[in-house]
Amino acid sequence: MSTPADLPAAPELTEPLSQWHRLHVRMLIVRPLNEGIAMLMPILVLLFTGDGEKWRIIASGATVAAILAFSFLLWRTTRYRITDDQVELHTGLLTRKQLSVPRDRIRTVDLTSKPGHRLFGLSAVRIGTGQKDVPGLDGLTLDAVTSEEAERLRVLLLRKAVPPQPAEGEEPAAPSPSDVISQLDLRWLKFAPLSLSGLVAIGAVFGVLSNYADDLGLDVVHDLWGWLFEHPSFSLIGGFAVALVVLGLVLSVPLYVIQFWNYRLTREPDGTLRVQRGLLTTRSVSVEEQRLRGVDIQEPLLVRAGRGAKAIAVTTGLGSKGESNLLLPPAPLSVAHQVSRDVLRVEDDPTTLKLRKHPFAALRRSLFRHIVPWVVIAAGLAIWAPAWAWPIPLVVLPFSALVGWDNYRSLGNAMDPRYLVTRNGSLVRSTVALQRTGIIGWRIERSFFQRRSGLVTVGATTAAGAGIYRVTDVGESDGLALADEAVPDLLRPFLLLEGE
Amino acid sequence: MTLQLRPPRHQVSPKSVLLWTMQAAVFWLVLFIPQLVVFLLVDSPPTWELALLVATGVIGVAHTAVEPSWRYRVHRWETTSDAVYTLSGWLNQEWRVAPVSRIQTVDTKRGPFQQLLGLATVTVTTASAAGPVEIEGLDQETARRLVEELTTTTQATPGDAT
């Protein structure tokens, strides 16, 4: 199958094209197909449980008919157009929605093709602006247009969004169509089991299945728990746990392949960064480079143990759905740093800076938070639960304490001429390099206990990514000095210098 | 030498104490009254129910008595030509700073209690999802002047504030 990357060079821009377009007519089939996959289970269950009573067949038929009718009406009532300065979308059956996005506010374009889309050569286009102040204006989705049209829109909308680039020191190799920054290396597959994605997937499938079971009035889960509770057998539970882990490990590899097949991170000539990936559902996420505010290097515990990491873009205009901000799937740490360096266009990746440690009192706080809850739970169980229950939290406790200690070791901050770096977390250790010019305010928190230990948590607010990035449990004076230095003159008038 | 944040210049309206007292009282009554009703209606209620009822009452009275005036001593605000600066909270405290050049919207709102007392809350939002700066419990005249002032300075600043 052809990925958008293999398509011929983007067609020339023919503008203005301010006439109205419909979404592609093939969506009449694709939408039921995509949604049908989700609806298949209930329909099959409806059809094949029981002994073919008439109402079951009618209900299944009605469901299918309703989906078809809905998708037809949606198609009939949805139109979009691209004018000189707006993207407009009119949609909705009962409530008519008229969405419009100013083209100079477009920051990201996200093309997604689910299997149903790909069968018919279509793509859904999500246009992101990152305007969070006006609800519903943070972007709109055209689901779906032909892949060629999607590709044309991507180039058209992002080119319009970028003013001619000012010469910024060294210009990138301009003539090449797109620079590859990173692409999938099959050796990265060893990080698949470490990322625990298999276990997460099993959990999700289990959740969906037990939901259906509930709907059918089968109390499988409840019965199972009840039975286990009455016959507490450690070999059975142990065997079950081992089977689960093995299944998770085995599943994680195909899952990694499905999500990240054909992964490529490129810098496009129009000043965007583009991530393409996916085996079944293909995605292409383009981010306006000028709006990139930093990079987040995330190291889930086991991936970190294998010296790996993934990289996340800190940027405006991306929905949080489906890891659209992913720059690099789990891969060796050195690759993550190389990606970070290339993406930020810097000599040395700021996330490799030597971090300043936080005060000893932060360790006390971290240990306290990771130990006390388990003691409380154990005490509670000792009073109200069967006698075998209370030691379980105490078994967990040492591991939790280790996590608390590691959490303290993670804490750190640093600064270079352009970036503020902060690190947090143990189970997922996250090292964020945030552009200092992207900081648009401060939130400085001090709890009752922090006050007694002379600590504060300094949060830098930004339009990008999570909205706030925290330097946790830093010494009060050091934290304020850091904030003052990161954004000159903002905090200065409110600071007091005391003693010598 | 050590750095510290100095408190912002202005206190909120003294009537805020009453506002927070009313809010706390309503919160605790919503917890207390249903318990009381159950306790009175059930024959021979268990002891833990009585314990819970008493605990709710004691904590509720203590909280309602202490928190509002404590809050009033903490809550402060200030605007300069460059920034909005607030301090809020009581046990846990929080300072917020937003530069005027990044302000996107300035809103006023009045809850039912605030209308009763002639108070208002001014909310200043920036492009950050985590960034809104709220000043609760201003008297309405101060709030009106503040909004006017911020709106004027914000409009004079170019750019899309992201």
A309-329: per-residue pLDDT in tens? 999 999 887 765 667 889 999
Name every residue whose Cβ is closer than 8 Å to that of residue A223 and which is 6 or more positions away in sequence: none
CA distances from A395 to A376, A383, A399, A405, A443 (A): 14, 18, 8, 17, 38
pLDDT: which is higher, A352 or A25: A352
Closest residue on chain B to A492 (Cα): B5
**CA dist., res. B131 & res. B160, Å (int):** 16
Q: And the tokens for B15?
A: 């009537």
Strands A17-22 and A79-82: antiparallel
Res A482: pLDDT: 94
**CA dist., res. A461 & res. A444, Å (int):** 10
- Closest Cα of chain B to A374: distance in Å? 24
- Closest Cα of chain A to B19: distance in Å? 23
**Interface contact flag, A463 B127, Cβ < 8 Å:** yes
Closest residue on chain A to B134 (Cα): A443
CB atoms inside a 10 Å sphere around CB A338: 17
Comparing A268-272, A496-500, B37-41, the range with the smallest average pLDDT is A496-500
Quick one: pLDDT band at residue A37, thresholds 50, 70, 90?
low
**CA dist., res. A331 & res. B61, Å (int):** 56
List the single residue in B91, B99, B161 with the smallest CB-CB distance to A490: B99
Q: Does A137 touch chain B (CB under 8 A)?
A: no
Res A118: pLDDT: 86
Comparing A163-177, A457-471, B19-33, B46-60, the range with the smallest average pLDDT is A163-177
Nearest by Cα to A172 from A106, A284, A265, A270: A270
**CA dist., res. B149 & res. A360, Å (int):** 45
Res B161: pLDDT: 52
Q: What is the mean pLDDT of chain A?
A: 82
Res A169: pLDDT: 47
Q: Does A290 touch chain B (CB under 8 A)?
A: no
Res B158: pLDDT: 60
List the single residue in A451, A493, A498 with the smallest CB-CB distance to B80: A493
**b/e burial code for range B147-161 (CB count within 10 A of at least 16 → b):** beebeebbeeeeeeb
Closest residue on chain B to A444 (Cα): B95
Kindly list the residues from chain B whose CB atom is less than 8 angstroms away from the CB atom of residue A497.
Answer: 1-3
**Interface contact flag, B91 A448, Cβ < 8 Å:** yes
Q: Does A440 touch chain B (CB under 8 A)?
A: yes
Res A412: pLDDT: 94
| Residue A357 pLDDT > 50 | yes
pTM of the model: 0.81
Res A57: pLDDT: 76
**Interface contact flag, B3 A467, Cβ < 8 Å:** no
| Residue A434 pLDDT > 50 | yes
| Residue A72 pLDDT > 90 | no
Average pLDDT of the residues in A127-151: 74
Kindly report each contact of residues A84-92 with a partner whose C-beta sits within 8 Å and lies 24 or more positions away, as own/partner.
Answer: A84/A15, A84/A16, A84/A18, A87/A127, A87/A140, A87/A157, A89/A140, A89/A142
Res A53: pLDDT: 67
Res A218: pLDDT: 65
**Interface contact flag, B130 A467, Cβ < 8 Å:** yes
Res A322: pLDDT: 60
Q: What pLDDT digit, counting tens, does each position of A393-421 carry?
A: 888 899 999 999 999 999 999 999 999 99
Average pLDDT of the residues in A46-73: 75
**Interface contact flag, A495 B4, Cβ < 8 Å:** yes
Closest residue on chain A to B80 (Cα): A493
Comparing A33-37, A274-278, A304-308, B37-41, the range with the smallest average pLDDT is A33-37
Average pLDDT of the residues in A466-488: 93
Average pLDDT of the residues in A263-271: 89
Kindly list the residues from chain B whose CB atom is less than 8 angstroms away from the CB atom of residue A447.
Answer: 91-92
Give percent helix, percent strand, percent coil of chain B, each to the nearest 5: 50, 25, 25
Tally C-beta pairs within 8 A across A and B.
123
Nearest by Cα to A20 from A91, A82, A77, A92: A82
pLDDT: which is higher, A176 or A259: A259
Res A177: pLDDT: 72
Kindly report each contact of residues A163-169 with a partner whose C-beta sits within 8 Å and lies 24 or more positions away, as own/partner.
Answer: A165/A271
Kindly list the residues from chain A whose CB atom is less than 8 angstroms away from the CB atom of residue B154.
Answer: none
**CA dist., res. A238 & res. A242, Å (int):** 6
Res B9: pLDDT: 93
Low-confidence ranges of chain B (pLDDT < 70): 157-162
Going across the sheet that includes A326-332, the strands are A326-332, A308-315, A292-300, A428-435, A419-424, A412-415
Q: What pLDDT digit, counting tens, does each position of A226-255 carry?
A: 777 677 667 777 888 888 888 888 888 888
**Interface contact flag, A476 B2, Cβ < 8 Å:** yes
First-to-final CA distance of chain A: 70
Interface ipTM: 0.90
Q: What pLDDT digit, counting tens, does each position of A143-155 carry?
A: 878 888 898 888 8
**CA dist., res. B101 & res. B81, Å (int):** 10
Beta strand ranges found along A73-188 (DSSP E): 79-82, 86-91, 97-102, 108-113, 122-128, 139-146, 179-183
Q: What pLDDT digit, counting tens, does each position of A91-124 carry?
A: 877 777 788 888 888 888 889 888 888 888 888 8
